[in-house]
Copies of this chain bind each other. A is one copy, B any other.
């Protein structure tokens, strides 16, 4: 179903193969040798496609789908239309991810150095890298094998990029040490000076920013996101973090492993996240805070104090979720009462 101008489909696969690879259970009566040629949405799928249901908002679309097979949670299996084969999974979105990766595997880069790329002779480039037109790689940079450096990206002197890395079009990276399988999206800015200066009526005075950005393995950094290098300590992004578009990460910030940071979040300097912290869109964090492992922060919150591990916070100033909901409900009720008087 995907536009062939942009995507190449692999396969086909049988339902049995797909159920195996995503560890789902085929529904009773399913034909394991039924052939599927592509993934598709519930609305657009036809009988030779496989789809998925992960959000109850789309139960109506599920009930009317023409898909040949659907990956669903067992709890909603009874809502399936007749004739659809189900792949039952406790985590249908994860199962779908595996199936979609089978149909659309990430392709390894073809070795190429565009004639208009600028690669400093002292840079070390690993095997099988694709370096696009206008890309720039600075002196003594070290690029691992199978990296893809897209058009007009700029990699500064001395930067280290691990194997399997991808630097998007027009992105720039400097003063950074980056692990394996890291994707930096188009226009992201990694490693520039942080916002460090001593204010003064006779003029603000720049504080040299002497740290780096250190990024672990399997990290994704969204389009036009900015990550400043450390002021002295490093700015650190742990393994497996996913950072969305237009996020601001200040100098000396440290994210643990597997953190999820949604679009337009701002994290002020020296704040530290434990592992698996999740921050909703547009959240702002003051500086020098500690956010405990597994904490969740609701979208648009303003966090001005530490947050304990495992807690969900919301509002501004951010408080435990239930407290914030009570505040909102109370304010809403009082305003309604006042209107009626």
Q: A: which residues have CB within 8 A of B?
A: 1-3, 5-7, 39-41, 43-44, 55, 57, 91, 93-94, 96-98, 100-101, 103-104, 114, 116, 118, 132-134, 136, 140, 150-152, 154, 156-158, 168-172, 174-175, 185-187, 189, 192-193, 195, 197-201, 203-208, 210-212, 218, 220, 222-224, 226, 228, 232-233, 240, 242, 244-246, 248, 250, 258, 260, 262-264, 266, 268, 276, 281-282, 284, 286, 288, 299-300, 302, 304, 316-317, 319, 323, 326-328, 330-332, 334-336, 338-339
Q: List 21 A-B contacts (CB under 8 A).
A: A2-B211, A2-B232, A7-B210, A55-B288, A94-B205, A100-B207, A100-B210, A101-B205, A134-B136, A136-B169, A168-B172, A195-B245, A197-B242, A203-B218, A222-B226, A224-B246, A244-B248, A263-B268, A299-B302, A323-B335, A326-B338
A196 to chain B, nearest CB (A): 8
What B residues does A174 contact at CB under 8 A? 6, 169
With both chains docked as a complex, state the minimum distance between the C-beta of A39 and any C-beta of chain B, in angstroms: 7
The reply to whether A187 and B201 form a contact with Cβ atoms under 8 Å apart is no
- The residue in chain B whose Cβ has the minimal distance to the Cβ of A331 is B327
Query: A276: which B residues are within 8 A, CB to CB?
Result: 201
Q: Complex Cα distance A205/B132, Å?
A: 27
The answer to whether A302 and B300 touch across the interface, beta carbons within 8 angstroms, is yes
Q: Which residues of B contact A260 (CB under 8 A)?
A: 199, 204
Are A268 and B281 in contact, with the CB atoms below 8 A?
yes
Q: Which 6 A-B pairs have the closest CB atoms?
A: A5-B158, A94-B198, A118-B133, A189-B223, A169-B172, A2-B210
In the assembled complex, the CB of A156 is this many whole angstroms from the nearest CB of chain B, namely: 8
- When A97-B207, A316-B300 are in contact, do A187 and B224 touch as well, CB less than 8 Å? yes
